[in-house]
A and B are shown apart, each in its own frame.
Chain A
Amino acid sequence: NAGVTQTPKFRVLKTGQSMTLLCAQDMNHEYMYWYRQDPGMGLRLIHYSVGEGTTAKGEVPDGYNVSRLKKQNFLLGLESAAPSQTSVYFCASREWGAKSSYEQYFGPGTRLTVT
């Protein structure tokens, strides 16, 4: 199992450009999440999905859109990148169900710089 993978690993964008970050998981997990990690801020939830075809806003959703067309994939889009979106982006997934399924499995991250 590859677990959670993220594409790309690094990206530099100019202000106003758009891009899509791809997250893929092979664990058949229902829940998927996108976080951003900034110095001194910890990880903050951007958007999440509780199943194929569903998405919902998290703590810091402005400037981002998401889609979950297939259960194993969760896409994060930036329509018009801004320097404030310079961050490390992490995708995570979690199985649905029992109490023990609280554990989230994280991908390796995507480092995005917006100039």
Chain B
Amino acid sequence: QKEVEQDPGPLSVPEGAIVSLNCTYSNSAFQYFMWYRQYSRKGPELLMYTYSSGNKEDGRFTAQVDKSSKYISLFIRDSQPSDSATYLCAMTVAAGRRALTFGSGTRLQVQP
């Protein structure tokens, strides 16, 4: 069983839709939770992060962490064609090398 599970999609939605992306994980030591966005043939770029449990909002994006359920989510409101990309969840423990453990990524396509 993978340490981080993520539905690979692809997920296709119309422009303006609300998108929900999710990951589950098994390692209770994870403290930092991140969402990276990766455009085709590019490197991942950090989109949002959350420390421990709770919500964080940044414009059209909201990240949620539920440590009791070992479940994290990314919501995208008013989705745009420019949001079409692969979204990778990533997480790490509070100490040590702080290497990231990634989900496999969800490919999102927003149709104009």
* Chain A residues with a Cβ under 8 A of chain B: 4, 31, 33, 40-45, 48, 50, 56, 58, 90, 92, 94, 99, 102-104, 106-109
Contact = CB atoms under 8 A, between A and B. Distances in A.
25 contacts: A40-B8, A42-B4, A42-B6, A42-B88, A42-B103, A42-B104, A42-B105, A43-B102, A45-B99, A45-B100, A50-B97, A56-B97, A58-B99, A90-B43, A94-B98, A102-B32, A102-B34, A102-B49, A102-B92, A103-B34, A103-B49, A104-B100, A106-B45, A107-B43, A109-B42
Interface in B12-41: 32, 34, 41
Contacts, number: 50
CB-CB nearest 5 A-B residue pairs = A106-B43, A42-B102, A42-B104, A43-B102, A45-B99
B3 to A, nearest CB: 10
Overall SS of chain A's interface = strand
Contacts of B61: none
A43 B88 contact: yes
A107 B99 CA distance: 16
Interface of B: 4, 6, 8, 32, 34, 41-46, 49, 51, 88, 92, 97-100, 102-105
B51 A108 contact: no
Given A42-B4, A103-B49, A33 B105 contact: no
B98 A31 contact: yes
Nearest to B99: A45
B76 to A, nearest CB: 20
Contacts of B42: 108-109
Which of A50, A94, A102, A108: most chain B Cβ within 10 A?
A102
Contacts of B51: 99
Contacts of A103: 34, 46, 49
Given A4-B43, A31-B98, A43-B100, 20 more contacts: A33-B99, A42-B4, A42-B6, A42-B88, A44-B102, A48-B97, A56-B97, A90-B43, A90-B44, A94-B98, A102-B34, A102-B49, A103-B46, A104-B46, A104-B100, A106-B43, A107-B43, A108-B43, A109-B41, A109-B43
